[in-house]
């Protein structure tokens, strides 16, 4: 398993309550305890997002990286430069990224 998975969830696979992040928006707040596996297809540049956790909105296939939410685009851009980044995620190979959920501050 990836080091990001073990760092976030430990060997048992259960995340402790103290690690939950509260994400605030001007309209509402929510807890984002998800991670995402992002695969950028090398030939078509289509993006496949798989949620690791309970997700309803951010999953499936996107036409390009520019169709992803802005916070996810920012994290992918940072991981293209260096990896891993605590609070952001890690780049597994040229086309696969594991990203922590929520806004990056």
Higher-confidence position of 95 and 20? 95
Nearest-angstrom CA–CA distance, 92 and 35: 14
Of residues 1 and 80, the one with the higher pLDDT is 80
The number of helices, as runs of H, and strands, as runs of E, in the chain is 2, 7
Contacts of residue 83, defined as CB under 8 A and 6 or more positions apart, other chains included, come to 89, 90, 91
**Residue 3 — pLDDT band, cuts 50, 70, 90?**
low
Residue 48 CB partners (closer than 8 Å, separation 6+)? 38, 39, 41, 60, 61, 62
- pLDDT for res 20: 40
Q: How do residues 11-45 score in pLDDT, each as one tens digit?
A: 544 444 334 444 444 443 444 578 899 999 999 99
* pLDDT single digits (tens) 41-80: 999 999 999 988 777 777 789 999 999 989 899 999 999 9
Six token digits for residue 59: 């999953």
């Amino acid at each position: 398993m990836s080091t990001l998975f073990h760092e976030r969830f430990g060997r048992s696979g259960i995340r402790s309550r103290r690690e939950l992040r509260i994400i605030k928006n001007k309209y509402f707040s929510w807890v984002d305890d998800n991670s995402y596996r992002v695969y950028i297809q090398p030939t078509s540049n289509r993006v496949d997002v798989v949620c690791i956790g309970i997700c309803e909105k951010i999953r499936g296939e996107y036409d390009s990286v520019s169709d992803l939410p802005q916070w996810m685009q920012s994290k992918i851009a940072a991981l293209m430069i260096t990896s891993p980044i605590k609070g952001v995620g890690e780049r597994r190979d040229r086309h696969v990224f594991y990203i922590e959920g929520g806004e990056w501050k």
